[in-house]
Amino acid sequence: MKTIRVGMIGSGFIADVHCQAIARLPGAEVVAHCSPSEGSRRLFSERWKIPETYPDHRQMLASSELDAVVVATRNHLHAPIALDAISAGKNVILEKPLCLTLAEADEIIDAARQQGVLVCYAEELCFVPKYVRVKELVDKGAIGSVYRVNQVEKHEGPYSPWFWKVKEAGGGILMDMGCHSIEFARWLLGKPRVRAVSAFMDTVLHSDKTEMEDDVVIHLEFETGQRALLESSWALLGGMDSITHVFGTAGVIHADLLKGMGLKMYSAAGFGNNPDSNRGWSFPDYEWLWENGYPQEDEHFFDCMRSGSEPLESAEDGRQVLEIMYACYASAAEGRTITLPYSPPDVAAPVEIWLQSKRVGRAGG
C-alpha cells in the first residue's frame, strides 16, 4: 500500500484533530507542516514530531515531496491555499466550509479537474459511525419512506476569536455548524437536489462579540418532496448537541451523537482542559475521535487518492452546501423562500447579504 505523505496547513484545533486521526492510520503520515506563527509552528511540529516545518504554504509545496495537504485554516484562506496546492499537483483535504464565494468554488473544482487531483470536502458527520448506521437503516427501508430529517448542531460558541470576524469567517453559526446540518441532510437522503430554502436567523447571545448570526433555523425542500428542518446555534448553554431525528412512513430513528454512549457523570468542579464545559452532569466520550468519524474520513480520502476514485464528499458537495448557505442568508434577509439554483449578489462574504439588510433596517428605523 502506497504511503500518503501529508502536509498539514494550520495549527489550530481541527489541524490537531486531523493529526490525531492520521497518526492512527496505516499508510499515511504527516511529514510537513506550515503556520505563519513561529511559536505555533514550533509547538505543533514538536507535539506531532513533524520533521519539516515552514512559515508559508507555498514554500512547503515547493520544497516537500507531498501527496496531499490538509487545509485546516481560517475560512477566508481556504480557496487561495487550495488553489496553490492544486497548481502544485497535490490532492487536497479541504475543511468546511469549502470557501467563501461560488466563484472560488468553481475555480477550485475546475482547477482540480484540469490537474487531475482530488479535492475532498471534510464533512465528518458523513463518517460518524452512529450516523452511518442511521443511513444504513434508512437505505434498507427500516422506517419506510423518509419524509423529513431533523438535525441539530449547537453549542455555546466557537473556540477561537476569528470565528466572530466577518472577513475571516464569512458568516456566523451557519458557516460554522449549519454547513454540517445541511450536508448531513443531503447525504442521508441520497443527495437529491434542494429546490427551495427558508431560513430564520438572529444574534441572540453574542452581540457583544459579533454582528453575525449566532442562531439559525433552516427549512430545506428537496426535489423528491422530502424536507429537512435544521437548527444550528452558538447560543446553547450547558454543553453541545448533535442530534438527528429521521421520520418515515413506517417508523422513526432518533440518534444522539454526544449523549447516547452509556456514560453519564456528575462533576462538581468539571474536569479536563475546559472544566467550564462539563461542570455538573455530562456525558463523557469513550473514544471521541472515532465516534466523531475523523479517522474514517481521512482513511476514506487516502484510499480514494490511491485508487483515483471519487470521494464520498467532494468539492462539488462543498459547493452545493455553499450555494444553500447563500440562499439561507438571502431568505433571512428578505423574509421569503428562496428557490435554487441561486445566484447571489457580489459580496465578499455570504453573511453580508443578511448584514446589509440589518443595516438598512436600522437606518430606516
Give the pLDDT band of residue 362 (cuts 50, 70, 90).
Answer: low
pLDDT per position as a tens digit, 281-339: 877 777 889 999 999 999 999 999 999 999 999 999 999 999 999 999 999 999 999 99
**What percentage of the chain has pLDDT greater than the value 90?**
87
- Domains annotated for the chain, with CATH where assigned, are 4-125+294-314 (3.40.50.720), 126-287 (3.30.360.10)
315-334 and 352-364 helices, crossing angle to 10°: 10
pLDDT > 70? residue 56: yes
pLDDT > 70? residue 365: no
Ranking 130-139, 225-234, 266-275, 306-315 by mean pLDDT, the lowest is: 266-275
CA–CA distance, 267 with 278 (Å, rounded to integer): 7
Phi, psi angle pair for 318, to nearest 5°: -60, -35
Ranking 182-186, 234-238, 271-275 by mean pLDDT, the lowest is: 271-275
Query: Residue 52: in which H helix or E strand, if any?
Result: strand 52-54
Which cell numbers hold the place of 28?
A: 499515511
Greatest pairwise CA separation for the chain in angstroms: 65
pLDDT > 90? residue 262: no
pLDDT at position 8 is 98
CA distances from 121 to 82, 212, 300, 348 (A): 11, 24, 11, 21
Give the pLDDT band of residue 261 (cuts 50, 70, 90).
Answer: low
Q: Which residue, chain included where needed, has cell 468553481?
A: 106
Which pairing describes strands 338-339 and 194-202: parallel, antiparallel, or unpaired? Answer: antiparallel
Nearest to 61 by CA among 41, 90, 99: 90
Question: DSSP character for 341?
Answer: S
pLDDT at position 347 is 96
Whether cis (ω within 30° of 0) applies to the bond prior to 275 is: no
Mean pLDDT of 225-237: 97
Mean per-residue pLDDT of the chain: 95
CB-CB contact of 294 with 17 (8 Å): yes
Neighbouring CB atoms inside 10 A of 156's CB total: 17
pLDDT > 70? residue 208: yes
pLDDT at position 363 is 62
CA–CA distance, 28 with 235 (Å, rounded to integer): 38
Greater pLDDT, 270 or 261:
270
Ranking 131-135, 153-157, 268-272, 277-281 by mean pLDDT, the lowest is: 277-281
Give the pLDDT band of residue 21 (cuts 50, 70, 90).
Answer: very high
**pTM, entire model:** 0.94
Give the pLDDT band of residue 364 (cuts 50, 70, 90).
Answer: low
pLDDT > 70? residue 68: yes
How would DSSP label each residue in 312-336? Answer: SSBHHHHHHHHHHHHHHHHHHHHTS
CB-CB contact of 344 with 328 (8 Å): no
pLDDT at position 270 is 83
Greater pLDDT, 277 or 356:
356
3 state SS of 257 = coil
Which pairing describes strands 28-34 and 194-202: parallel, antiparallel, or unpaired? Answer: unpaired
Greater pLDDT, 258 or 320:
320
Q: What residues contact residue 79 under an 8 Å CB cut-off, 6+ apart?
A: 99, 100, 101, 104, 105, 107, 108
CA–CA distance, 360 with 141 (Å, rounded to integer): 49
